[in-house]
Chains A and B, each alone.
Chain A
Amino acid sequence: MPYSEDSLQGRLLAGDKEALRQVSRWVAESMTAARFWRLRPEWQDLHQEALLRLFESLKRERFRSDGEFKSYVQGICRHMALDRLAELARRPSADMSNNPAGNRSAGDTEDLLISEHLVRRILDDSAMNCREMIRAYFLEGMSYAELASKLDVPVGTAKSRLFRCLQCLRESMAQAAPGPARGKTTSQ
């Protein structure tokens, strides 16, 4: 075996279930990043393909043990996802009929479903303090004064920080849906 038995790569090659679960997690996180949201109908396939490609790569000893394995795995996923996005961009019409990834005319229910997954995913990637602020304000119903007290900052600072956190959230959402959802009209 090209990698030591107790290394993650070695355990993976030996079929260690926990190692597979760990690497599978990295792949899942990479594939479901906001910028790859268009690929969500294909995540399962891409997830599997990435694991297979990784395994093949390890068998051929392409990963050097002195490198960062997680980054290596993420790199494989990123390349695969970007390739697929490029392919979709090259032939949008051919894929549109069979591939909901390109379908932006989903109904409200679908939108809601996507949103909760997307919000969760984006919150995962948010800075810890942003996630905490959004949770405290929207879920726990904290006031700005309580937030300020919790953060030990003036009320105005708490207010502006929360706004900036929401701005970041919105920017991440825009990555997931290029050609913004704001094309939809909203009625008050």
Chain B
Amino acid sequence: MTHEELQLNLPDYLAGRLPAHESRFLEAHLDTCEECSNFVTDLRALPDLITLHGEALFDEHLDHAMFERLLGGAAGPEEERLRRHLAVCAPCGLQLNPLADPRVRRAESVENAHSRTRRSLPGILKVSGLVAAGLIVGVLAAPLLKPPAPARDGPIELPVLQPVTRSAGRVTRIAVRAGQSAVVIAIPVDTLDMHADDERILVQVTTAAHEVIYGLEKPAGEVRRTSVSGILPLMLESRHLPPGSYEVSIKPSTRAGESIAVLLFEIVVGDEGD
């Protein structure tokens, strides 16, 4: 058989459908033919991947309504199919991540954005100091921000999260329990530069059912460029959330390269279901 004729048997060989005697003949050819050998090497995993993931590799992408249903936990019997799809589909997976709100612009170019790993030790120390300050302010602010609620019955939990930086591409997640009245987030900001046409800086809080965007307003004034630093307390009201377990993702959207430390205070006001 010629090389061209043998090549046409390669799909059968990959799928394990080639009869034994033809397989042996082809394997002898593979030993001497780099082109065919490379073909087999490169595509060897394909049949197994198709078997493993099945229709998820071929099915329709998620449309707007499907995203909404999935995010809202209302995908119903379709959920399994959507999740299998998301497990293999990069664009849909990327789209499902909390969407950036482009109404907030970052002046820095993406090129500069990628110099973000060069964070100095003093910068880290500064953030750490602000984290500590934020903890104190947060503790003081918590009672003020607490909505009318039954007397607290249980410990106040004050988990302190690690500073979040966009450079790490990381989203901080924390669970919110049913019956929890509020989450106070104190955000020590390590000097955010805001340009004149920046309107606000986003801190995006998302849950499975909600997407809440907090904007840190630009200070008043006609300056071309200004800096903001200090503690910026925010409060997420979770009273409106239906009972259930939630995961809150906090994704600070700041100028690339800047760091934001997020402290998250959980205030438990009573037993679950109160």
Contact = CB atoms under 8 A, between A and B. Distances in A.
A139 interface: yes
A25 B166 contact: no
A20 B99 contact: yes
A33 B38 CA distance: 23
Interface in B18-56: 27, 38-47, 49-56
A11 interface: no
A115 interface: yes
Interface residues of A, number: 66
A48 B10 CA distance: 42
Nearest to A49: B110
A134 B50 CA distance: 9
B103 A55 contact: yes
B90 A117 contact: yes
A165 to B, nearest CB: 9
Given A21-B67, A84-B110, A120-B56, A112 B45 contact: yes
Interface in B81-95: 87-92, 94-95
Contact of B89 (A40, A41, A120, A166): A120
A131 interface: yes
Given A21-B95, A121-B91, A182 B41 contact: yes
B100 A51 contact: yes
Interface stretch (B111-119, B133-141, B181-189, B237-245): B111-119
Question: Which one of A28, A84, A162 has the greatest number of beta carbons of chain B within 10 Å?
Answer: A28
A5 interface: no
Contacts of A135: 50, 58
Interface residues of B, number: 55
Contact of B110 (A24, A80, A137): A80
Interface string A30-66: 0110000000111111111101111110010000000
Contact of A120 (B45, B64, B90, B256): B90
B111 to A, nearest CB: 6
Given A42-B114, A166-B10, 10 more contacts: A20-B101, A22-B64, A44-B94, A49-B113, A52-B100, A117-B90, A120-B56, A124-B91, A159-B11, A181-B41
Contacts of A12: 102
A107 interface: no
Contacts of B122: none
Contacts of B166: 45
A44 B15 contact: no
